[in-house]
C-alpha cells in the first residue's frame, strides 16, 4: 500500500488547476492533430484506395514478397539443430510425430529416418543468428533481417498452401494480398500497377510446380485490382505495344472514343467491370511510356549489377526479377510478388538444394543491401519464405547419394523479414530438437498476413469487402499481429 506524506503535498488553487489541465488537454489535442495530419498525408500521396485507410500511421509504404515456391528446407537452411547428426538414420520417434498428417508420398514409408542438415551452420553478424553455409549472402545481412522460425499452416500440398498464404483460404476464389492492398491502399504512382507479379524457376527446370493464376488474382474484388504479370520475353507486359503503324496520338484518340462508349454502356447496365475496363485501358496507355524504361537496366551502375550477381543479365532469372522489383518499388509500386520455383526437393535434395541457393541467395541479400544504400529499406518490407517447410526425416533412401529428399511439412517453417518496422537481428520462435514441432511463439500464416497489413497502417479486422452477404477479409476470422517482432 502506498502512503501519502501530506507535509509534501503542495496546495493548488483553482486558476493553477485549470491552467495545468488546459495544457494537458492541449498536448493531447496536438498529438491527435499531428497523427491526423500523418494519416491525411498518407492518403493524399497516393492514387486510389479507400478514404478510411490507412487506419493508423504506417511504418512502411510498400512490400516485396519473395516466395520460394516448392518449400525450402528449414532444417538445412535456417533452423539449426546441432544434435541431428547423432541421430542420423534413426527412426523419428512416435512421441515427435504424434500421429500428424503426412502426404501420400511418405505416409506408407516403413521408416522415417532422421536426415541431418546437408551443410554446416555458423552464427552470423553481431546478432549471432544461425544460418547455413548454403546461404552466405543471406548470412552477410543477418543483422538486417528478422528470422521467424515458427510459421505454420494447415495445408500440406502446394497449391492449397500458396493459395492460403496469399488469399487466406485454401480454396481459390478470394483476393490475394496484393489485390487487397490495391483495393485498400491504392498506389504511390499512376503510371504503374499497384500489384506486380514476376516468376522464375531453377535453371535446369527440374521442378514441375506451376504458378497458378489464382496466386495473384482479385477474387471477388473488381478485376482492376489483380496482379499485372511481367514477362521475361518480348514485351515485358502482354498486349502493351501498339500494333504496327498505329501512332501514340492515334491510340490516344481511340481510347478517348472507346472510353466514352464504355461510359454510355455503364449508364445502361451498371456493370462495375466496365469501369475496370476503362481504367485498365488507361493504365496500359501510361505503361507504354513507363515500363520499357523500367525494364532497361542500361542505366544501372556496374557495382549495382555486380551486387545481384552474374545471373542478373539472364532474362527470366530470379536475380533480374529482384532488380526489377527494386526499380518498381522505387517508382512507388505498392506490392511486388516474386515467385521462384524449384524448391520441391522430394528426390533431388543432394543436387537441387545447393543450386536453388546459388540462384536465389545473392539476389535476395542484394535487394536488402540495395534498398538500404538508397535509403528505401526503412519504408519497404521484404518478405522471404515458402508455402510450408520440409520434414526432418528422409523421403527415399538416404544412402543413395544422388536421389533422396524431404517431404512436405506444414507444422513449422522459417521466414525472414527485412525493412521498416521489424526488429533487425532478431531470431523469433523455437522448435523442438528435430525441427518438427513448435515449442515457443507459433506464428500462423494468418498472423503473418495481419502483421504485414499492420505495418502498412491497416487493421486486418477492418479491411473488408462485402460479397454474397458476408463481409470478407484477408485473414478470414483469424490472425493476430506479431508485435514481438516489431520495433
Is residue 291 assigned to a domain? yes
Is residue 208 assigned to a domain? yes
pLDDT at 21: 53
State whether residue 412 is helix, strand or coil. coil
Integer CA distances (angstroms), 29 to 41, 84, 340, 457, in order: 18, 58, 49, 21
Q: Strand pairing partners for 455?
A: none
Provide the domain count of the chain.
Answer: 1
Instruction: Decide if 385 contacts 372 (C-beta within 8 A).
Output: no
Instruction: Decide if 216 contacts 176 (C-beta within 8 A).
Output: yes
CA distance 392 to 74: 9
Integer CA distances (angstroms), 315 to 66, 214, 301, in order: 18, 24, 18
pLDDT at 423: 98
Residue whose C-alpha cell reads 504479370 in the numeric block: 229
State whether residue 466 is helix, strand or coil. strand
pLDDT at 9: 43
Is residue 339 assigned to a domain? yes
CA distance 346 to 189: 43
Instruction: Decide if 121 contacts 133 (C-beta within 8 A).
Output: yes
pLDDT at 46: 81
Q: Strand pairing partners for 416?
A: 147, 384
* Structure-block grid coordinates of residue 248: 501514340
pLDDT at 482: 98
Burial (CB count <10 Å: 0-12, 13-18, 19+), residue 389: buried
pLDDT at 7: 43
Specify whether the backbone of 219 is left (phi greater than 0), alpha (psi in -120 to 50) or beta: left
Q: What is the CATH number of the domain that holds 362?
A: 3.40.720
Is residue 405 assigned to a domain? yes
Classify each residue of 214-241 as buried b or exposed e, where b means 16 or more C-beta atoms within 10 Å of its C-beta: bbbbbbebbebbbbbbbebeeebbeebe
What is the residue range of 289's domain?
A: 60-244+272-485
Is residue 45 assigned to a domain? no
Is residue 233 assigned to a domain? yes
DSSP E strand stretches across 369-432: 380-385, 389-396, 404-409, 413-419, 427-428, 430-431
Residues 6+ apart with CB under 8 A from 486: 59, 421, 422, 423, 451, 454, 455
Is residue 402 assigned to a domain? yes
pLDDT at 246: 83
Is residue 125 assigned to a domain? yes
* Structure-block grid coordinates of residue 262: 464504355
User: Splitting the chain (487 residues) into consecutive groups of 10 residues, what average pLDDT does each group show?
Assistant: 41 54 52 55 75 97 97 98 96 95 94 96 98 98 98 96 96 95 95 94 69 79 92 79 83 87 90 84 80 90 97 94 97 96 94 95 98 98 98 96 96 98 98 98 98 98 97 97 98
Amino acid at each position: 500500500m502506498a502512503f501519502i506524506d501530506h507535509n509534501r503535498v503542495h496546495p493548488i488553487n483553482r486558476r493553477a488547476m485549470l491552467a495545468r489541465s488546459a495544457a494537458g488537454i492541449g498536448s493531447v489535442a496536438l498529438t491527435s492533430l499531428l497523427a491526423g495530419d500523418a494519416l491525411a498525408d498518407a492518403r493524399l500521396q497516393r492514387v486510389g484506395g479507400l478514404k478510411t485507410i490507412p487506419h493508423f500511421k504506417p511504418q512502411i509504404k510498400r512490400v516485396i514478397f519473395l516466395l520460394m515456391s516448392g518449400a525450402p528446407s528449414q532444417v538445412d537452411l535456417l533452423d539449426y539443430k546441432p544434435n541431428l547428426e547423432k541421430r542420423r538414420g534413426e527412426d523419428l520417434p512416435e512421441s515427435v510425430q504424434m500421429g500428424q498428417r503426412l502426404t501420400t508420398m511418405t505416409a506408407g514409408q516403413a521408416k522415417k529416418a532422421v536426415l541431418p542438415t546437408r551443410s554446416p551452420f555458423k552464427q552470423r553478424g553481431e546478432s549471432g543468428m544461425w544460418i547455413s553455409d548454403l546461404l552466405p549472402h543471406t548470412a552477410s545481412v543477418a543483422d538486417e533481417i528478422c528470422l521467424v522460425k515458427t510459421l505454420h499452416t494447415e495445408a500440406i500440398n502446394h497449391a492449397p498452401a500458396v493459395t492460403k498464404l496469399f488469399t487466406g483460404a485454401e480454396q481459390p476464389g478470394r483476393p490475394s494480398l496484393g489485390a487487397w492492398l490495391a483495393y485498400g491502399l491504392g498506389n504511390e504512382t499512376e503510371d504503374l500497377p499497384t500489384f506486380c507479379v514476376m516468376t522464375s524457376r531453377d535453371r535446369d527446370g527440374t521442378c514441375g510446380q506451376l504458378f497458378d493464376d489464382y496466386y495473384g488474382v482479385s477474387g471477388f474484388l473488381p478485376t482492376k485490382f489483380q496482379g499485372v504479370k511481367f514477362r521475361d520475353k518480348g514485351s515485358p507486359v502482354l498486349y502493351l505495344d501498339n500494333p504496327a503503324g498505329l501512332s501514340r496520338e492515334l491510340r490516344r484518340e481511340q481510347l478517348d472514343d472507346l472510353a466514352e462508349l464504355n461510359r454510355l454502356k455503364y449508364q445502361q447496365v451498371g456493370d462495375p467491370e466496365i469501369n475496370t475496363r476503362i481504367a485498365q485501358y488507361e493504365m496500359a496507355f501510361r505503361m507504354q511510356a513507363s515500363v520499357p524504361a523500367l525494364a532497361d537496366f542500361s542505366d544501372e551502375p556496374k557495382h549495382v549489377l555486380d551486387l545481384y550477381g552474374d545471373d542478373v543479365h539472364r532474362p527470366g532469372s530470379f536475380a533480374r526479377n529482384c532488380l526489377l522489383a527494386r526499380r518498381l518499388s522505387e517508382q512507388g509500386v505498392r506490392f511486388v510478388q516474386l515467385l521462384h520455383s524449384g524448391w520441391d526437393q522430394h528426390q533431388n535434395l543432394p543436387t537441387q538444394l545447393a543450386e536453388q541457393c546459388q540462384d536465389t541467395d545473392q539476389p535476395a541479400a542484394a535487394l536488402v543491401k540495395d534498398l538500404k544504400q538508397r535509403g528505401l529499406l526503412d519504408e519497404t518490407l521484404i518478405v522471404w519464405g515458402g508455402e510450408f517447410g520440409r520434414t526432418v526425416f528422409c523421403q527415399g533412401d538416404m544412402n543413395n547419394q544422388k536421389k533422396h529428399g524431404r517431404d512436405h511439412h506444414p507444422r513449422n517453417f522459417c521466414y525472414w523479414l527485412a525493412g521498416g518496422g521489424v526488429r533487425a537481428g532478431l531470431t523469433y520462435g523455437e522448435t523442438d530438437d528435430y525441427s518438427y514441432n513448435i515449442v515457443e511463439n507459433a506464428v500462423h500464416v494468418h498472423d503473418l498476413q495481419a502483421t504485414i497489413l499492420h505495418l502498412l497502417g491497416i487493421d486486418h479486422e477492418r479491411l473488408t469487402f462485402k460479397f454474397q452477404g458476408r463481409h470478407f477479409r484477408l485473414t478470414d476470422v483469424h490472425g493476430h499481429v506479431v508485435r514481438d517482432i516489431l520495433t
